[in-house]
Structure 1
Amino acid sequence: MADWNTRLEVKLGDRTITPISNFTPTFNVPHTVIHSLEQDGTGYVRQPFTFTFTMTVPAIAQTVADLTELAVNGTEFAISVAEKRGTDWSFKSLKFARCMVTSASPSTVVIDGVPQANFSCTALTVSVED
């Protein structure tokens, strides 16, 4: 059974910008295999990893404007896990830090439901903290 007491949020310092509706990460950890005349696959060279993601956020209030401003100014933000306790949300652990928006694509206006905006981003620091 899913635990619906947590969610991902975009944070700028201590301020929550918006909850995230959909989060799609992409990891790339390239390795180049080293061969020799005597043997194949003698080792490898690990190249720097890249971590990119797309996130969908509700396009309500000033959320999209705030995220667009972060993108234009090159301001870094963080993705954190928020855990609901009582009627408020408290923050349990930070997972993705030094994130930057690389592109944005707002959705069209919808008659029913909340419009969504998609942002492509990259994370410069990925930490695993308990």
Structure 2
Amino acid sequence: MSTAHDDLDAWKRQRTLELAHELADSGRYEDFTDIAYALQFERGMATAQALIDGPDMRRVLNQRCADAREKLAPPAPIPAPEVLEVLEAAPDTSNDHAQLPKAADFERAPSLLRRALGIVWRSGNAGDLNSAPS
């Protein structure tokens, strides 16, 4: 009886890990906590969080979630040639204290922050974040 129970537990663990990876790769989940919730409450896997709750697994799932969401994100619009000319002619510095971040500034940022800043950066409104109404 013990062997059958061990086999069932091993199968449950393996199936939980497979589902967790599938959910992470879907791009619909922000991070590990969303996946644990989905497994537990949407899939009825009461022990799922305990099975996937470890620092290495959290790191893997969080990275897979971020990678999948980035693949699903719409590409940045390509500026018209006349906009590119204006951007190229603009000086690299200004007297404004709020500088637009460079793409390299986002590479190590957490995914949600990176996506939010990317939207602001692409829209050109980064200077508006620090300006108070007069």
Q: TM-score, normalised by structure 2?
A: 0.17
Select the structure that is richer in strand: 1
Q: RCO (CA 8 Å, sep 6+): is it higher in 1 or 2?
A: 1
Select the structure that is richer in helix: 2
Q: TM-score, normalised by structure 1?
A: 0.17
- Greater C-alpha radius of gyration: 2
